[in-house]
Structures are given as C-alpha cells and as structure tokens.
C-alpha cells in the first residue's frame, strides 16, 4: 500500500532555497566544473527522505519534480544525478518523473502571449520579438509516492 503526499511548496522551490552539498565525484561536470544538478538532486533526496520519515514510510516509490524551462536546470542531468545518488537512501528503488513547465512570453509586436516549452526570441504568430512574461523558473518537488 502506498500513500501519496501532495505538493510541498517551498521545499524545493526557488533558486536560493536548495542545498549545495555534493557527494563523491558526481557533483562535477565537464572540465571539473560543479554540476549543480547533483547538489539539487541531493537536496531533493534529503527532503523526500525527511518527508517519508514524517509519514512513517519505509520506502519512496516515486518522486515527481516540476522543472521550468527557465530554471537553469537540465532534466537529463537531474536524472543522471538521481541514478548516481539514490542508492543507500529510502529512494533506492524509486523512479523519477520530471514534468517540464513552460514559460509564458509576450510579443512586442502583436501582443500574443504564447506558452512555450523552449526559449524563443521570435513570436510564433508574427515573428516579432518575444520577452518573458511569467513562469518557467520553478523547481519544485511536486509529489512523492511512499510505501
């Protein structure tokens, strides 16, 4: 039997609220530059483990994240970090689901407000210049499935 725990606003949201710990060599990308997705994932796993303990669960079956296109986080790198960091945690057998969130842009020419899942500088309606209107910057632990 599993319990579902809903949204955890503020637990893993915003740019300055995520821990910056690193384990082993996985926290480094090409050229030995820090790969921030590894420290983000370590914080996600710590937060998920704490929530599982509070709920009296032994295992985490699934972790769902919402990642905005403007968050600066690469979903593939998050998945790589998850696979490398989950062993030895309550999430060892868990799956990771990443839901990409769009941003809403505004066209300076025609006023259109397209919702896009990738950065674009040209309006899909008229070809005019786009600016970011809102959204796309979120990074959120949105759901845990526990057992």
Task: Judge whether 67 and 78 are in contact, CB under 8 Å.
Answer: yes
Measured CA to CA, the distance from residue 45 to residue 23 in angstroms comes to 12
pLDDT score of 12 more than 70: no
The dihedral through the CA atoms of 21, 79, 49, 137 has a sign that is positive
How is domain 3-102+135-146 classified at the CATH fold level? Answer: hypothetical protein PF0899 fold (3.30.2320)
- Ordered by start, the domain boundaries in the chain are 3-102+135-146
pLDDT digits (tens, 9 = 90+) for 102-137: 999 999 999 999 999 998 899 999 999 999 999 999
pLDDT digits (tens, 9 = 90+) for 16-67: 233 333 333 343 344 444 468 999 999 999 999 999 999 999 999 999 999 9
Q: Which of 9-23, 84-98, 100-114 comes out lowest in average pLDDT? A: 9-23
Helix (H) or strand (E) holding 83: helix 75-85
Q: What is the pTM of this model?
A: 0.73
pLDDT band of 69, cuts 50, 70, 90? very high
pLDDT score of 3 more than 70: no
Per-residue pLDDT at 35: 64
Per-residue pLDDT at 7: 39
């Amino acid at each position: 039997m599993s319990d579902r725990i809903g949204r955890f606003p503020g637990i893993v949201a915003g740019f300055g609220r995520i821990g910056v710990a690193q384990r082993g060599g996985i926290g480094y990308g090409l050229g030995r530059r820090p790969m921030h997705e590894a420290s983000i994932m370590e914080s996600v796993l710590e937060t998920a483990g704490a929530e599982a303990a509070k709920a009296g669960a032994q295992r985490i079956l699934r972790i769902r994240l919402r990642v905005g296109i403007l968050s600066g986080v690469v979903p593939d790198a998050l998945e790589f970090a998850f696979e490398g960091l989950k062993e030895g945690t309550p999430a060892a057998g868990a799956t990771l689901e990443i839901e990409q969130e769009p941003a809403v842009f505004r066209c300076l020419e025609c006023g259109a407000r397209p919702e896009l899942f990738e950065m674009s500088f040209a309006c899909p309606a008229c070809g005019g210049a786009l600016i970011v209107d809102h959204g796309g910057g979120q990074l959120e632990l949105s759901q845990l499935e526990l057992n």
